[in-house]
Structure 1
Amino acid sequence: MNVFEINNAIAEIENKDLDPEVLVDTIKSLELTRDQKLDGAAGLSDKYDSEIQWANDRIKELREFIKVSKNKKDRLNQYITDAIDDAGLKEIKTEHHILKPRNYRDSVIVEEIRKLPIDYVVEEKTIKADKKKLYEDLKAGKEITGAHLKANRKTLIK
């Protein structure tokens, strides 16, 4: 019998003309069964809460792991690029890789968004610099308070 059937049985018994003692015992018995089933369901809900919390904690740990690993990779790539540039070479072939430093599009660094002229600010729910416009004008040689170009040189590893 499921919980809803138990509730219906309790309602039916309450409407019958039975001995008060039998009525009370029967209702208490049905209520006990119902309460045990509901307690079990609540226990499952607690289990799911624990699983959700575990998954959220794991996601947070994995995001941090990805962030740390990406930073390590970026620093290592910069080290490789600097070493190849220092040697004055355009390419190095190793046993397992071909290392070719490349010039990528410069990164726009916004030092202080509040110092940017209004033409370089895009208003959304939060204030955000118009990096496309900043890039174009900075690349054209225009000096803009609050932003500058930073070289974006990386090595392609095949």
Structure 2
Amino acid sequence: MTEMSAFQINAKIEELQDKDLDPQVLVDTIESLELTRNEKLDGAAGLIDRSDMKITLAKRKAKEWAEVARVEENKKKRLNQYVTEVIDGAGIKELVTKEHIFKPRNFKDSVVIDKLADLPKEYITYIEDVKADKKKLYEDLKAGTEISGAHLKANRGTTIK
């Protein structure tokens, strides 16, 4: 016998309910099909649980790696500043070692904002954040209002505990 999908099992159960069979045979067959379907759904739920664990782990690892990158960026900046100060302090224009060539140079100056509120208005820019009001859209669409550029989409799912 070929293995049936959960959808095929549902169809078979529906088909059996329309047949004129001995009631006990019908009950036993349907129970057997339901057991198989339920085992398949339990297997799918197990896969969902594994995905949830992997998602949680990946998000945690992403945060950890972002922190590692931030720490290393800061360390790199401090070390570069140290190297530059040592070479500048010695009055050297270029230093050649067995492993590296050091050439301190001027880069574009950095702008430091001491206090944003103290800046004259011509140095302030405003960023407008444009986004849809999904709460209002939902309420109006649910009330039957036709809104060009938006619609409601059914959102069905199953909670698994």
Same fold (TM over 0.5): yes
Higher strand share: 1
Q: 2:15 aligns with which of 8, 12, 35?
A: 12
Structure 2 gaps of 5+ residues are 130-161
Tell me how large the CA RMSD over aligned residues is.
1.2
CA distance in 2, matches of 1:27, 1:123: 66
Task: Provide the C-alpha distance between the structure 1 equivalents of 2:62 and 2:92, rounded to a whole number of angstroms.
Answer: 42
Whether 1:2 and 2:10 are equivalent positions in the alignment is no
Give the match's secondary structure for 2:92. Answer: coil
Q: Which has the higher contact order (CA 8 A, sep 6+)?
A: 1
Separation of aligned partners in 2, 1:114 and 1:3: 64
* Deviation by residue 1:61-116 (Cα, 9 ceiling, x = unmatched): 11111111111111000000000111011111111111011111111111222332
Percent of aligned positions that are identical: 53
- The residue aligned with 1:71 is 74
Quickly say closer, same or farther: Cα 1:50–1:125, change in 2 above 3 A. farther
Q: Distance in 2 between matches of 1:101 and 1:59?
A: 35
Aligned length: 126
Q: How far apart, CA to CA, are the structure 2 residues paired with 1:116 and 1:34?
A: 68
Confirm or deny that 1:45 pairs with 2:54. no
What residue number does 1:35 align with?
38
Q: 1:41-78 CA deviation, whole Å, 9 max, x = no partner?
A: 01001111111111111111111111111111110000
The answer to whether the aligner puts 1:21 opposite 2:24 as a matched pair is yes
Where does structure 1 differ by over 4 angstroms across 4 or more consecutive aligned residues? none
- The aligned residue for residue 83 of structure 1 is 86
Query: 1:101 and 2:100 equivalent?
Result: no
- Describe the SS at the equivalent of 1:105: coil
